[in-house]
Chain A
């Protein structure tokens, strides 16, 4: 068996698509017909077979194409991957976590064998077979964090825990929703969240920090976040905003279904055993409106969420320019009937 990896792009001709099975497994982020911030954190435990939670580190049909896109981003802008000097040990922690989880969930694609500190890592989709000494950076072609995150879907932030706070001291960030690792590296939890509207006043970050600093080894947690992206572009960084920003002015009633994508981040939080840091994978899932509305419940619910979104949130998420066009398009798929509780399609 194994996954059939799609050949597709997240730039230029934008050939990214979800297969019908991947549409059904999309992590739709709204459990009711409205959205407001909440500390929506829950234990990151294995979920139903066929869902994105079947494995705690999800590998899907977009894996190979996403890794190719990451390599392109890094070649253009190496500052997307940075690690402050005290974070190397945490990088090894992350390498271990991702190798173990990927090998556990997808043995047909990944194999990790260990003989003391001598490790062999086989990544068949990317054609990698490396033997190295765990803890010895000179035996890898990159630092440990960069090495493994060039082979793992999603962005990764490694947070150092000290003085009762979390510090963004290392990361691989190439698929981000408009925030800059290069600018935010070295900041504490409150500082890097400073631009987020409304949530500070609601005490969200104080409670979230309390929760995160208490995360224990072997007991990861998760939450969903979302925004929207025009064209299936993984790299919506502020660095390149002047390149992708014009996309937002291209939405018309005719092309909404193809151009407008719901972008969902599955964020998880893991305590790292040696460094006592926390790794925060931010896994991005994209789905175009045409694919999403194949599930009538999601179409109705998304219409209501986007229509009723508070103005500050719409502005922060960058929806302002095309929201009316999107709401009008979605309204035609909303007959006003009730939606069933929960995230999943009917």
Chain B
């Protein structure tokens, strides 16, 4: 986690079983382990009313660990983009009282939260747990393009090519950190690029 933080930067917790009958889990990569760990404290029958949607990392791990939870539904998706139509449908048709659990990378948590916010779910009612990569989703304030999986500071905008300072300032609506040109005042200044969000 970032050593020094600001108020708009999201704070993640630890998943814990919430009361209720309907539970929706959205996770990627190591986020599966947050669900597995939570399951150890879940009451019997908890996963009978649970749906898990999971995007495995590049190594394809943890699918079996989730299968072992015997949730009512387990859907494995190749990417967030491929998951999006299904997630929107599920959230739009959700019963009052659906409990939402988001676990994994910040990019996954942020984008799933964005869809849930649009469906009218209050962000404070969602359980979140950060696991795995610290890579950031970044919006370039200049061209408005989103760059996924930013691991360096500064980082180059994948759209307009400006070298951007990745700020801690975060928008839930955009599910992105803000990127601002780092050498706007003198473009000949090229600060060293460091691996800041591994």
Contact = CB atoms under 8 A, between A and B. Distances in A.
Contacts of A240: 142
29 contacts: A79-B144, A183-B139, A183-B141, A183-B171, A183-B178, A186-B173, A187-B8, A187-B172, A192-B8, A193-B7, A194-B8, A194-B9, A194-B168, A194-B169, A195-B6, A195-B169, A200-B7, A238-B141, A238-B142, A238-B178, A241-B180, A241-B181, A241-B184, A242-B142, A242-B184, A245-B181, A246-B187, A248-B185, A321-B185
A313 interface: no
B88 interface: no
Interface string A166-195: 000000000000001011111100111111
A239 interface: yes
A121 to B, nearest CB: 33
A338 interface: no
Contacts of B172: 186-187
B186 interface: yes
Contacts of B162: 242
Interface in B164-198: 167-169, 171-174, 178, 180-181, 184-187
Contacts of B168: 194-195
A249 interface: yes
Interface of A: 79, 180, 182-187, 190-195, 200, 238-242, 245-246, 248-249, 321
Interface of B: 6-9, 139, 141-142, 144, 162, 167-169, 171-174, 178, 180-181, 184-187
Contact of A239 (B142, B167, B173): B142
B181 to A, nearest CB: 4
B185 A195 contact: no
B141 A194 contact: no
Contacts of B185: 245-246, 248-249, 321
A208 to B, nearest CB: 14
B6 to A, nearest CB: 4
A180 B177 CA distance: 13
Contacts of B9: 194
A191 B162 CA distance: 26
B171 A239 contact: no
Contacts of A193: 7
B173 A185 contact: yes
A239 B184 contact: no
Contacts of B178: 180, 183, 238
A185 B173 CA distance: 8
Given A180-B141, A182-B141, 10 more contacts: A180-B178, A182-B144, A187-B172, A190-B8, A194-B168, A195-B8, A195-B167, A241-B184, A249-B185, A249-B186
B125 to A, nearest CB: 12
A284 B6 CA distance: 27
A246 B181 contact: no
B169 A183 contact: yes
Nearest to B177: A183
B8 A191 contact: yes
A240 B139 CA distance: 14
Given A183-B171, A185-B173, A194 B7 contact: yes
A49 B44 CA distance: 75
B9 to A, nearest CB: 7
Given A186-B171, A241-B180, A246 B186 contact: yes
A37 to B, nearest CB: 16
A289 B62 CA distance: 64
A136 B185 CA distance: 46
Contact of B141 (A200, A239, A245, A248): A239
A135 to B, nearest CB: 26
Nearest to B122: A163
Contacts of B139: 183
Enumerate the 5 nearest inter-chain pairs by beta-carbon distance, A residue then B residue, closest first: A245-B184, A194-B8, A194-B7, A191-B8, A194-B6
B38 to A, nearest CB: 28
A79 B144 CA distance: 10
Contacts of B8: 187, 190-192, 194-195
B103 to A, nearest CB: 23
A204 to B, nearest CB: 12
Contacts of B169: 183, 194-195
A241 B142 contact: yes
A242 B171 CA distance: 21
A183 B174 contact: yes
Nearest to B176: A183
A255 to B, nearest CB: 16
A341 to B, nearest CB: 36
Contacts of B173: 185-187
A185 B171 CA distance: 8
Nearest to A321: B185
